[in-house]
Amino acid sequence: MKRLFYPLFLILPAFAFAQPPGYYTTANGLNGQPLRAALRNIIRAHTALSYTPGLWNAYYTTDKKPNGKVWDMYSDIPGGTPAYEYTLGTDQCGSVSPPAENGCYNREHTWPQSKFASDTPMQTDLFLVIPSDYYVNNRRGDLPYGKVGTASETFTNGSKTGNNVYPGAPSGNCFEPIDSFKGDLARAYFYISTCYRNDSGKFSTWEMATLVALKPWAAQMLLSWHHLDPVSKKEKDRNEAVYALQGNRNPFIDKPEYADCIWGTGDCSTTGTSFVNADGQLELFPNPTGSFFKISVPERLKTTTLVVRVFNTTGQQMYSQTISADAAIDCSMLPTGNYFVHIASASVSVTKRLFVLHSN
C-alpha cells in the first residue's frame, strides 16, 4: 500500500519489531529459484490457525484500524472516506448472502480457495486470507486479479470486475483492486507461491498459476503492482501481527528486493541478506520536470550502476535503462502526469514518485 496516501489518523500503532536476528541468513547470496527455495524453508513451518474462531480472532490485531473498524482492502479508500466500515466481531458473517455491499464482512481467500485443497495451513494462512465485504468477496469469486478493460461492475472504493486486458492474460473476466492495494495483494501472491512451492499437489492450475507457480503474465503484472505500490507501514505492522500469531513472516514485505530477484531481473547473489536502506537518501530532481531528471545519491553510491525503470500509474513500464549514478534521464517523451521511478542496484531498491509537467 502506498505510504503517500494514508493520513496520520489512519496509521496503525507500531508493533515491536520481532524479526529474530538471522531470520533470512540461509537466503544470503542466493538468487532466482534457489532463493525462492531457501525462503520457502524459512517460512513454511508455521502455526496453523483454525478457520473458526482462529481467523475471526486474528483480525482483531492483524486488520484493525485505529478507530476499531475492519481494514478491508475491497472497500477502504486511502486518504478518503469509505462508503461504509465494519465493526470487528459484530459485523462478521459466514453464510448469509447480502444483496449489496455494506451487509457484513467475511474471510476472503486472495488465492481462491477453489484452486487449492481445503487443508491447513494454507486454508487459514493470514497472509492468504483477509477480511473483506461479503458481497464483493462473492462477486470476485474465483476470478483472477488483472487489468479491467470494460468494467461490468464497479464497487464503492473503485475496485471492479470486467474483461482482463493485461497483455498475455487469458481471455475472460478478472477482478482489479484499486492502485493503493495492488502491492499488498502482489506481495501476498509472492508469499503464497514461495511458501507452498513444495505443496503443488494441493493446488490446481488456473488463470494465474500452474499449480503454485505464477504464470509469466501474472508474475509480470504482480511485479509491476509491487513497484507501483511500495510496502507501507500498514503492511509492516500487519507482518508483525501475523508473525506473533503464526510464527512466520512475509519476506517480500521485509525485503521487497526478493521479488525482483525471483521473478524479475534483480540480482541478490552478492547483496547479503538485505539492501542498503536508501529511501531517504535518493531523490529525483528537478521534480516536477518536463524534460529530464537526475537521481541524487549519497557519496557511498556515487560509483554505483543503477537500473532505472519508470512506470505509469497503471503499472505499465514506460522506460528502462542502466545508467551511472550521475546521468540525466530524458523524460520529455512522457505525457504530463504522475509516474513511479524504481531505482535498483546491487545494494539499493527504492521507488520514488515523479511528476512530469509540460508547459503549454
What confidence score (pLDDT) does residue 307 get?
A: 82
Three-state secondary structure along 280-340?
CCCEEECCCECCEEEEECCHHHCCCEEEEEEEECCCCEEEEEEEECCCCEECCCCCCEEEE
- Residues 120 and 34: their CA atoms lie apart, in Å, by 25
Average pLDDT value for the chain: 87
pLDDT band at 179 (very low <50, low <70, confident <90, very high): very high
- State pTM to two decimals: 0.74
Residue 256 within a domain: yes
- Residue 63 · residue 1 · CB < 8 Å: no
Residue 274 within a domain: no
One domain for residues 248 and 308: no
pLDDT digits (tens, 9 = 90+) for 328-338: 999 999 999 88
One domain for residues 20 and 54: yes
One domain for residues 93 and 213: yes
One domain for residues 89 and 194: yes
One domain for residues 255 and 307: no
**Mean pLDDT across 57-76:** 96
Residues of the domain holding 348: 283-356
Domains in the chain: how many in total?
A: 2
pLDDT digits (tens, 9 = 90+) for 73-132: 999 999 899 999 999 999 999 878 899 999 999 999 999 999 999 888 999 999 999 999
Measured N-to-C along each axis, helices 179-195 and 233-246 cross at an angle, to the nearest 10 degrees, of 30
What confidence score (pLDDT) does residue 229 get?
A: 94
**Mean pLDDT across 51-78:** 95
pLDDT band at 278 (very low <50, low <70, confident <90, very high): low
**In this structure, how many other beta carbons lie within 10 angstroms of the beta carbon of residue 349?**
27
What confidence score (pLDDT) does residue 7 get?
A: 28
One domain for residues 259 and 289: no
Residue 64 within a domain: yes
Residue 197 within a domain: yes
Residue 277 within a domain: no
Share of the chain above pLDDT 90, in %: 64
Q: Grid cell 531523490 — which residue?
A: 283
One domain for residues 212 and 288: no
Which residues, at least 6 apart from 34, have a Cβ–Cβ distance to it below 8 Å?
A: none
